[in-house]
Amino acid sequence: MSNVSHQDRRVAVVILNWNGRVHLERYLPSVLEHTLQDAEVWVVDNGSTDDSLAWLESNHPEVKTLALGCNWGFAEGYNKALFHVDADVHVLLNSDVRIVSRWVAPVLKVMDERGWSVASPLLVQDANPSLCEHAGAAGGWMDKDGFPFCLGRLFNEVEPVDAWHQQNREVFWASGAALFVRKSAWVEVGGLDGALFAHMEEIDLCWRLQNAGHRIGCVGQVSVQHLGGGTLQNSSPFKTYLNFRNNLIVMVKNRRGAWPLFAFRRMTLDGVAAFRMLSQGQWRQFLAVGKAHGAFYLALPRVLRQRAMLRRLSSPKAELVGWWSQSVIWAHFVQGVNRARDLKLPLSERS
């Protein structure tokens, strides 16, 4: 944990923008209203071809800006952004997040009290704040096959927000839509994996940090509203490709054990999912899964080198909080479980 005092600590909220003037117009005013007393606000432009930067200069000169010149993707874009933004804590914030109350100081307070290196607030839907949001909800978990799921969302089933979601608890991964990370932890593990481009990069970061002995949390008593799908819609074959490719890469990089065995099992489950897509007439999604597997094979030599390096850096005493040793696929699609709280998860006593 950083030794910087609370009074001297610098906090920067960093929004990575790509052709997102519409989102900036809609959501940035709420960010500024509830953030500037506790943090700087930066908009880092990822090679936009719209007039985002000109609009910011004319309408919000209080926002600090940085132009990267081209689209580096979400992961590498943030790596380059945070290299230039000097702060003790960075908050990676999606451009389609609405802030409704003071949020930075309360999240940092819980992080300090619990000793967390990374955290996110509770994510609720912008269109209906009474419902958990897909991209994180009340914190993320991981099952034995590398399928991430959330407290408050199992696959497409989202839950109404209640007191259970509003607890502060330790989790496996925190949402990249509003991700608080201490600079010391970020630097220790080398930031995000730029080769992922986008999707699951925050899960990979949290997994590497947990393996190195860090702790991850969700501050459920603080909520932000997320639109979701601001860059890639759920129906996008490219999004399907990234999710399936990155899921395999992240699991092989970080999971302990015999990687050929769990990778083969996971790829078999991917194949079942792909043929289900084909049976529903989603042939572009079907092809995207096949393309993802091909890209995984091409990336495998690099991924295995990363795996070997990470094994040397990992802590042998690290406790993986938020890891479920059963199958969320079986629980949801076969047993009909629609809520994470009904999975009888082994919630950490440290929370």
pLDDT in tens, 250-284: 999 999 999 999 999 999 999 999 999 999 999 99
Largest CA distance in the chain: 58
Average confidence (pLDDT) over 328-336: 94
Percent of the chain past pLDDT 90, that is, above it, reads 88
Residues β-bridged to residue 308: none
Q: What is the CATH number of domain 11-226?
A: 3.90.550.10
Q: What is the pLDDT of residue 231?
A: 52
pLDDT in tens, 158-167: 999 999 999 9
Q: What is the pLDDT of residue 294?
A: 97
Give the residue from 64, 71, 58 showing the smallest Cα distance to 20. 71
Q: Are 184 and 116 in contact (CB under 8 A)?
A: no
Average confidence (pLDDT) over 148-165: 95
Q: Spell out the domain ranges in the chain.
A: 11-226, 237-317
Average confidence (pLDDT) over 86-109: 97
Distance, in Å, from the CA atom of 173 to the CA atom of 280, rounded to the nearest integer, reads 31
Q: Are 204 and 192 in contact (CB under 8 A)?
A: yes
pLDDT in tens, 20-43: 999 999 999 999 999 999 999 999
Whole-number mean pLDDT of the chain? 93
Distance, in Å, from the CA atom of 247 to the CA atom of 241, rounded to the nearest integer, reads 10
Average confidence (pLDDT) over 194-220: 95
In this prediction the pTM is 0.93
Q: What is the pLDDT of residue 117?
A: 98
pLDDT in tens, 38-83: 999 999 999 999 999 999 999 999 999 999 989 999 999 999 999 9
